[in-house]
Amino acid sequence: MLKLPQRVTSVSFEKSTVPLIKFDVAERLRQEIVTGAIKPGSLVVEIKWAKKLGVSQGSVREALSILASEGFVQRTPGRRARVTHLTTQDINHIYQLRGAIEGLAVRLVTERAPDLGVMVTTFEEMERAVVGNDVKRLIENDLAFHLGLCQLSANPILLEHAQRLMVPLFAFAYMRVESTGQGVEPWRKTLATHARIIDYIQAGDPFLAEQFVLRSTPGFATVIYSVWTESSEGDSEAGADSTETAANE
């Protein structure tokens, strides 16, 4: 499950006397991105972060390659890395593919008929998060629900693509909800849909389960669209930060 950290105003790291491997650097940069310390659209300057973390520039470069494979950063011409900045068009494209991936996943899961304990548990956690108005807990368990579905498909390639799409998407959604104070309300209406996905799997008809997920995906997309629209002002701020970062590089 993606562990989304509590919102912080700044993050600082002491230089380590022990060289950090690329995965440690990737984790630290990932947390900087998720907490909003490095804003969407901003350039991640290798030499700056190498000095800040006390590691070689090569370690930072390797870490950025990991983050690029996960969808948190994108390589620009000249192989510079920029934090992913999703537009509404990007969201549309993601959900077109996500519907196909999760539709296939639910069909495979229904055919396999595995134990759905993980999905049931994460759904119940979503319900409790809505009641408690706990956005972080809600988004973490929403992500766990959908990745759990993909994992139960027993198709590792499907799961890999689902993670590549959903982990950064949910992380950036959390950042936007936190920055605007929207709360759990956009997700409330999706609870019944999540419950019905479980019901369709338990009913045992792979075709009907797949069709339900395909029909439901636009509703899930609507939630994310509402988050992006509400925080559109933040987009312009991110663009300003991005320009400033590029100029300072």
Q: Residue 63 maps to which CATH number?
A: 1.10.10.10
Task: Note the pLDDT of residue 204.
Answer: 97
Residues 160 and 205 in one domain: yes
Contact 145/119 with Cβ under 8 angstroms?
Answer: yes
- For residue 144, the surrounding DSSP H or E stretch is helix 135-152
Residues 101 and 22 in one domain: no
Q: Long-range pairs for 115-119 at CB < 8 Å and ≥24 separation?
A: 116/152, 116/198, 116/201, 116/202, 118/144, 118/148, 118/151, 118/152, 119/145, 119/148, 119/149, 119/152, 119/197, 119/198
Q: Which residue has the higher pLDDT, 197 or 136?
A: 197
Over the chain, what is the mean pLDDT?
83
Can you give the CATH number for the domain in which 198 is found?
1.20.120.530
Residues 51 and 101 in one domain: no
CB count, 10 Å around CB of 9? Answer: 7
242: in domain: no
Question: What is the C-alpha to C-alpha distance for residues 66 and 73, in angstroms, rounded to an integer?
Answer: 9
Domain count, the chain: 2
> Which tens digits make up the pLDDT trace of 217-245?
999 998 888 877 765 544 444 444 443 34
Residues 80 and 94 in one domain: no
**Which amino acid does the sequence have at 95?**
Y
pTM, entire model:
0.78
238: in domain: no
Closest CA to 10 of 31, 24, 27, 26: 31
User: Tokens for 32?
Assistant: 């900087």
pLDDT reading at 116 higher than 80 = yes
Domain that holds residue 142: 88-232
